[in-house]
Each structure stands twice: as structure tokens, then as C-alpha cells.
Amino acid sequence: AGGWRRRPGSIGASADPSRVFKGKKMPGKMGAERKTVRNLKIVGVDKEENLLLIRGSLPGNKGSLLTIKSSK
């Protein structure tokens, strides 16, 4: 995401309240954190194409690197 997408526009009302209300939802940090996904099933291995087939959704973009390890 570009930097402009996570910035707020006008966050307060007009001149009447003259403040931003407590609890106003604001953008936070995005990305650059480690995600752990559990209970994914390995469906198959294609050695010719060097592929690991996994059932379920995985974090990250297409082409990004994943670290896969056993749960035990």
C-alpha cells in the first residue's frame, strides 16, 4: 500500500465541537510483523516443479517468502 492510503483526511467535525472525539479510529502500522498460521494441511509435494501444496490461506503477497516448520 502506498503511504497516502493510511493517512486520515479530516478527523474532526466543524467549529462546533472543536475537538476530536475520544476513541476516534485512526490508521495504525501496517506490515513488517511476523504472522503465525496454524493447522494448515500439506496436500502434496511436486518435486519436479519444486512446489509444496498447502490447503488454506497464507499471509503475504504473491512471490513472498514463507518459513514453514513442523508444529511438533
Do 49 and 40 contact (CB within 8 A), yes or no? no
Do 26 and 7 contact (CB within 8 A), yes or no? no
Residue 55's Cβ-side half-sphere holds a number of Cα atoms within 13 Å equal to: 5
Structural domain boundaries of the chain?
34-71
What pTM does this model have?
0.49
CA distance 11 to 9: 6
Q: Which helix (H) or strand (E) holds 41?
A: strand 41-46
Q: What is the pLDDT of residues 27-60, one digit of tens each?
A: 777 777 788 898 899 999 999 999 999 998 988 8
